[in-house]
Structure formats: structure tokens, C-alpha cells
């Protein structure tokens, strides 16, 4: 019998309880012995729970962390504290740990893998990236032969759901966010989703494994989707793109590029058709070439699939630390975003007067920003809306050009600036 101590009983943990109950017989056969949840830590023992089982709840962490009969601690509380301290105590007390906590793995992975190694225990975190998509173990194990060049993906279910609803059903941002929260996709503080931090944490984990160097989320240029308007979505469609929150990391001459931002994605790109709560991660390397992982990126059921998969993996090998722990064995610096290159979509409001477009083109030219296309979208009350797509330009040149355009007397507003991925 393998005993589990569950920390938390929210969206994901509820799914874990259900899967272990519903698929019990099958799981027992796969593991060779039964898996039992011995105790569950919650904040409020009297809270009404949507589970038909009689559950062994406690509000005392020590009843789980200090119980010598418990083999595996499954942390599903979220956030940094007290979850981090609980994981440290669990490893120090000689327990295996499973977590879905990307914040903790991305920020504190090094120390936790050190503790796991010292204790000879496993620390698995498949659910921390991509919900139900298997990506951590495939990267660490199945793709271990490769030199990885690029990892690119849609890794936040909440924002992908919001962008899809805004694009396909013309819904408003605020309403769709409420739906995402009701469906259990969003983090307890949804700004982690909306402002891109959740995706940056996931990219930090993927890039650290893929490029074998520790990348902290704070080093990743991060921009969320708050500024995406229905107008940008409409113009994207007219130009043959969809808007996606893209996490991308590439190896460039021994250094690492890493960013999370909304992008214009050509509709023919494999990631452009990834909609709703679905996530997809595309990995490019030698010798495998390009592989893509796709599935539901958030929610109770897909995420519990990944968590229970980790529990089974540990249960099958509980007496030896079989799994690969830290794979960060080189140091590669992250390139400052200003030094990277991208294409851009720009939406500007300017005075509708002769010479204004020429002046703006001149400013771009002074900073080596080459324009691919310009469309004047409307001319109302002496105002023109300009929509431009650039060729590949250095980010810092783009910023300098935009600063000068903003200070030009005939510019009324720079309404949006969005990167463009793939071929124009
Ligand atoms: P959640 O619904 O907010 O549940 C959190 C649970 O933790 C609740 O049961 C809560 O207890 C308990 N808890 C919170 N603070 C506690 C404390 N100080 N002491 C004891 N218990 C505490 O969270 P979730 O959506 O399941 O997410 C859990 C983890 O999975 C997070 O790391 C999240 O990032 C990750 N994740 C979530 C998803 C998803 O789709 N939701 C997908 C992938 C990964 P009460 O029930 O008593 O309030
Ligand atoms: N809030 C996260 C998302 C949960 O929307 O993708 C899955 O990690």
C-alpha cells in the first residue's frame, strides 16, 4: 500500500481524489499495489466540498508531513508560502513529492532538486506546465538525445480561452475572465494569467530543462493580454493572423532568448489553431526536428491526469530515486529583450494631414526600422488610424523610433504595438 498525503483540496486536488477513486482498480494493477489517500490538508475543514466520499481532512500540516506511514506528498495548494516550506519539510523527512506548482519549481527548483537528491527521493512536477499535456518527462527523457534549439508554445489556458472567446464569439474580456475562473482555469490571483507571469514561470521551467541552464522567470521579458482590443483582433484577422499569448525561447550563439507576449500568429501556423483552454508546445532540436505536444492546458480533469501520472511513476519506483532530477549543468545568459529582433504590428492615431505619413516613415527609417506594409484604416474628424507591419527589426531600435513618433506633434496616440511571429 502506498500512502499519499494531499496538501490542498481545491480544483486540481478534487480531480486527483476522483481519479484515484474512479480508476482505482486499473491503477492498482499498473502499480502492483494500492494507492490510498491517508490525509488531506485544507484551510477550512467545514467548507462544503463537491465530493461524495468521506475524506480524512485536517488543518494540521504536521499530521501529514511528520507521518512516517506517508510515502508521497502531493502539493496542490499553490503560491509560494506555505507550499514551499511544506515541500522542503517533506523532502527533508524523506518523502517523495509531486507538485503542480510552477511558481515554486521555476523560482526554487535548484534548492528543491538539491534536497530531493540528498534524500534520494523523487520530485515530479508534470502538471506544472501544460495541464494534461505530457511535456516535462518527454523533454527530460524521450528527447534527452537532442540539442534543443527552440521551445515555443501556448502555455496558459486562461488567456488562450479569453483570446479565443474574444476572437470567435466577440465576447468582452471581463466576462470571459469570469467564465475562466468559474471553469477552474484561472489562478487564485488571475493577474498571474492575464499579465503573463504564469506563462513566464512555465517557460522558465521548459527552457531550463530544454537548454540545461537555470532560467529564472524574472529574466524573461513578460507582457500580458490586458491591452488587446477587439480592434486589434479584427485587424489581425484582416491581415491573415490570429492573436495568441506566445511563450518562446531560443538558443542564440550560446545565449538564450526568452519572452512571453501577445503575438500576431499567421493563421497557417500550427499554433494558430490552438484554441479555447488548449495548450500546445512546439520543440525544435537535432536530431528530432520539430515535435508538437497538444492538449487541455488547465482545469480539474486534465491537470489531475498529470498529477496522478506522477504519483504512479513514483509508486512504481518508490524504493529508488529513478527519475532524472536537475538537468541544469551549464550556464547560459539570457539576452536582454532590447538586443533581440522581431517583426511588429503597430496601430497609430495621427492627424490626417499631408506629410504626416512621410514624417513617420522618415522616423522609422532613421532607426533602421523597415516597413513591410501600411494601411490607413479610417479618417474621422481629421484623425487617421495607421496600421503598419514592419520587417525584422531590433527591439531597441523599435523602442527609440516609437519614442520619437510619440513626441511628434501630429501623433495623437500609439494605440498598440504587438510582435509578429512567423513569415509576413
Ligand atoms: P485552488 O482551487 O485555489 O485550491 C487550493 C487548495 O489549497 C484549497 O483546497 C485550499 O483550502 C488549500 N489551501 C490554500 N492555502 C492553504 C494553506 N495555507 N493551508 C492549507 N491549505 C491551503 O487551486 P488549484 O486551481 O487546484 O491549483 C493548485 C495548484 O495547481 C497551483 O499550484 C496551480 O498553479 C496548479 N495548477 C492548477 C491548474 C488549474 O487548472 N487549476 C492547472 C495546472 C496547475 P480550502 O479548500 O480549505 O480553501
Ligand atoms: N492558470 C493556469 C492556466 C492553470 O490558465 O493555464 C494551468 O497551469
12 lines ligand 1 (CB under 6 A): yes
14 lines ligand 2 (CB under 6 A): no
- Residue 416 within any structural domain of the chain: yes
5 lines ligand 2 (CB under 6 A): no
Q: Which ligand 2 atom is at minimum distance from the Cα of 159? A: 5
Residues 140 and 124 in one domain: no
100 lines ligand 1 (CB under 6 A): yes
Q: How far is the CA of 351 from the centre of ligand 1 (A)?
A: 51
Among 316, 348, 365, the domain-final residue is: 316
The values of phi and psi at residue 300, to 5°, are -55, -55
DSSP β-bridge partners for residue 153? 247, 281
- Residue 328 within any structural domain of the chain: no
- Residue 333 within any structural domain of the chain: no
Residues 121 and 143 in one domain: no
Q: Which ligand 1 atom is at minimum distance from the Cα of 157? A: 40
Residues 149 and 97 in one domain: no
Dist CA 352 CA 361 (whole Å)? 15
pTM: 0.97
Residues 124 and 254 in one domain: no
Which residue, 385, 337, 394, is CA-closest to 360? 385
Helices 11-22 and 300-316 pack at an angle, to 10 degrees, of: 60
Q: How far is the CA of 25 from the centre of ligand 1 (A)?
A: 27
126 lines ligand 2 (CB under 6 A): no
Domain span holding position 366 = 339-420
- Residue 326 within any structural domain of the chain: no
One digit per residue, the tens of pLDDT, for the chain of length 424 reads 999 999 999 999 999 999 999 999 999 999 999 999 999 999 999 999 888 778 899 999 999 999 999 999 999 999 999 999 999 999 999 999 999 999 999 999 999 999 999 999 999 999 999 999 999 999 999 999 999 999 999 999 999 999 999 999 999 888 899 999 999 999 888 999 999 999 999 999 999 999 999 999 999 999 999 999 999 999 999 999 999 999 999 999 999 999 999 999 999 999 999 999 999 999 999 999 999 999 999 999 999 999 999 999 999 988 777 777 889 999 999 999 999 999 999 999 999 999 999 999 999 999 999 999 999 987 777 899 999 999 999 999 999 999 999 999 999 999 999 999 976 4
Q: List, by residue number, the catalytic residues.
A: 202
Residues 292 and 310 in one domain: no
Residues 270 and 140 in one domain: yes
Nearest CA to ligand 1 atom 48: 43
Q: Which ligand 2 atom is at minimum distance from the Cα of 158? A: 5
Which residue, 335, 333, 336, 352, is CA-closest to 399? 336
- Residue 370 within any structural domain of the chain: yes
Nearest CA to ligand 2 atom 4: 298
Q: How far is the CA of 292 from the centre of ligand 1 (A)?
A: 29
131 lines ligand 2 (CB under 6 A): yes
Rounded to whole angstroms, what are the CA distances from 176 to 81, 168, 234? 29, 12, 18
| Strand order through the sheet with 57-58 | 57-58, 35-41, 2-7, 72-75, 96-99, 123-124
Dist CA 78 CA 184 (whole Å)? 13
Amino acid at each position: 500500500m502506498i500512502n499519499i498525503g494531499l496538501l490542498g483540496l481545491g480544483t486540481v486536488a478534487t480531480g486527483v481524489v476522483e481519479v484515484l477513486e474512479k480508476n482505482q482498480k486499473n491503477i492498482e494493477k499498473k502499480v502492483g499495489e494500492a494507492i490510498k489517500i491517508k490525509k488531506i490538508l485544507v484551510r477550512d475543514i467545514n467548507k462544503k466540498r463537491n465530493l461524495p466520499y468521506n475524506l480524512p481532512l485536517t488543518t494540521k500540516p504536521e499530521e501529514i508531513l511528520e507521518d512516517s506511514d506517508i510515502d508521497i506528498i502531493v502539493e496542490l495548494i499553490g503560491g509560494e508560502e506555505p507550499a514551499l516550506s511544506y515541500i522542503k519539510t517533506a523532502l527533508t523527512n524523506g518523502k517523495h513529492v509531486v507538485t503542480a506548482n510552477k511558481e515554486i519549481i521555476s523560482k526554487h527548483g535548484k534548492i528543491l532538486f538539491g534536497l530531493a537528491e540528498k534524500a534520494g527521493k523523487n520530485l515530479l512536477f508534470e502538471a506544472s506546465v501544460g495541464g494534461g499535456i505530457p511535456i516535462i518527462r518527454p523533454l527530460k527523457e524521450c528527447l534527452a538525445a537532442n540539442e534543443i534549439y527552440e521551445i515555443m508554445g501556448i502555455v496558459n489556458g486562461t488567456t488562450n480561452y479569453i483570446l479565443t472567446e474574444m476572437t470567435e464569439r466577440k465576447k468582452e474580456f471581463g466576462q470571459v475572465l469570469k467564465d475562466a475562473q468559474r471553469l477552474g482555469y484561472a489562478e487564485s490571483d488571475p493577474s498571474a494569467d492575464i499579465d503573463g507571469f504564469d506563462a513566464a514561470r512555465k517557460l522558465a521551467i521548459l527552457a531550463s530543462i530544454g537548454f540545461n541552464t537555470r532560467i529564472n522567470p524574472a529574466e524573461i521579458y513578460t507582457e500580458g493580454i490586458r491591452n488587446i482590443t477587439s480592434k486589434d483582433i479584427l485587424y489581425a484577422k484582416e491581415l491573415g493572423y490570429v492573436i495568441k499569448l506566445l511563450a518562446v525561447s531560443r538558443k542564440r550563439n550560446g545565449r538564450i532568448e526568452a519572452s512571453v507576449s501577445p503575438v500576431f500568429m499567421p493563421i497557417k501556423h500550427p499554433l494558430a489553431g490552438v484554441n479555447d483552454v488548449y495548450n500546445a508546445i512546439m520543440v525544435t532540436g537535432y536530431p528530432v526536428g520539430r515535435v508538437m505536444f497538444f492538449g487541455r492546458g488547465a482545469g480539474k480533469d486534465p491537470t489531475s491526469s498529470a498529477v496522478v501520472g506522477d504519483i504512479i511513476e513514483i509508486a512504481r519506483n518508490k524504493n529508488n530515486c529513478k527519475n532524472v532530477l536537475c538537468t541544469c549543468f551549464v550556464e547560459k545568459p539570457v539576452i536582454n529583450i532590447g538586443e533581440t529582433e522581431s517583426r511588429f504590428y503597430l496601430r497609430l492615431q495621427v492627424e490626417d494631414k499631408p506629410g504626416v505619413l512621410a514624417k513617420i516613415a522618415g522616423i522609422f527609417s532613421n532607426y533602421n526600422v523597415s516597413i513591410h506594409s501600411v494601411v490607413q484604416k479610417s479618417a474621422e474628424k481629421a484623425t487617421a488610424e495607421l496600421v503598419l507591419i514592419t520587417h525584422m527589426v531590433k527591439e531597441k531600435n523599435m523602442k527609440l523610433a516609437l519614442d520619437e513618433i510619440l513626441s511628434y506633434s501630429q501623433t495623437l496616440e500609439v494605440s498598440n504595438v504587438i510582435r509578429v511571429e512567423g513569415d509576413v
